[in-house]
Structure 1
Amino acid sequence: MNLLAALFSHAHSDASMRILHGYTSIGLMTGVVACVAAVRIQVSALHRWRAVAIGLWTLLNASFLVVNTWIAFQGMGISNGNLFHLAIAGVLTANLQLAQAIYREKIDVSSLSGDAIWQSK
């Protein structure tokens, strides 16, 4: 939906925009939770640089969450909204990939090695 919003920016009603941004905020919240779990896994596996990288990704997710939630409450009218929707689509895609990597390993956060997140099957 965010890709469509990027292509057809502001060609929708205010109510549909608020719904889209509301659901996007929910998606970003799950991304933040996945990132926090990934940081914990990397720290427990003593992969400090990976933990730092995912920690920075967590901050980016949190920043997008705050801005996106603000847009959901304030309404339309931000400049370069199409670029924002494109960036949100990219962040959500990366979050989905991270969550799937964690899910595939059937995580027990206390015992999983940090390498599992970086490997794809």
Structure 2
Amino acid sequence: MIPFLVFCSFLIPINAWAAVTPHLHSDLSMRLLHGVCTLVLIPLLWSLWLRRHDLSRWPALSLTLFAVVMVVVNSWIAGMGMGVEFGWLDHVMLACIEVALIAYFLLGPDPAEA
């Protein structure tokens, strides 16, 4: 789990940089970044689904909705390519959800307690 969280922590500054400099990356690198960011959200959604009865309802629901929206939007952006209006805002939201992902796995309930 630690290598996965370290990898996710590297995506935070990458997305922050992509938000600040939206036109300094190629179409391929942009599609790759959005695709990878979509894939790292799948373990979060899977864990939220498995632990749905053990988690507080409203925080878990909020995090789940945010993650689902980010998966849908980023899948669309990865397929669509460059030229998405307000793409910089999506990178800001990606950085936020990656912070939430790391916090969930580091500070959330211990799966061994279930």
Which TM-score band applies after superposition, normalised by the shorter structure? 0.7 to 0.9
Q: How many residues align?
A: 101
Over 6 Å off, 4+ runs? none
Q: Could you tell me which runs of 5 or more consecutive residues in structure 1 were left unpaired when the two chains were aligned.
A: 43-49, 113-121
Matched, 1:8 2:14: no
Aligned residue in 2 for 1:81: 87
Identity %: 30
Which structure is richer in relative contact order (CA contacts within 8 A, separation 6 or more)? 2
Pairing of 1:53-68 with structure 2 (within 5 A): 53-68=59-74
- Tell me, in whole angstroms, the C-alpha distance in 2 between the residues paired with 1:37 and 1:102: 13
Matched, 1:101 2:114: no
2:36 aligned residue (23, 27, 45): 23
- Tell me, in whole angstroms, the C-alpha distance in 1 between the residues paired with 2:50 and 2:61: 10
Give the 3 Å change call, closer, same or farther, for CA 29–2 of structure 1 in structure 2.
Answer: same
- Tell me, in whole angstroms, the C-alpha distance in 2 between the residues paired with 1:4 and 1:19: 15
Larger Rg, first or second structure (1 or 2): 1
With structure 2 as the length reference, what TM-score do the two structures score? 0.78
Aligned partner letter, 2:105? A
**What is the RMSD of the two structures over their aligned residues, measured on CA atoms?**
1.8
- Tell me, in whole angstroms, the C-alpha distance in 2 between the residues paired with 1:24 and 1:17: 11
Structure 1 SS opposite 2:74: helix
- Tell me, in whole angstroms, the C-alpha distance in 1 between the residues paired with 2:47 and 2:82: 29
With structure 1 as the length reference, what TM-score do the two structures score? 0.74
Instruction: Please list the CA deviations of residues 29-52 of structure 1 after superposition, one character each: whole Å capped at 9, or x if unmatched.
Output: 12212322442322xxxxxxx223
Aligned residue in 1 for 2:8: none
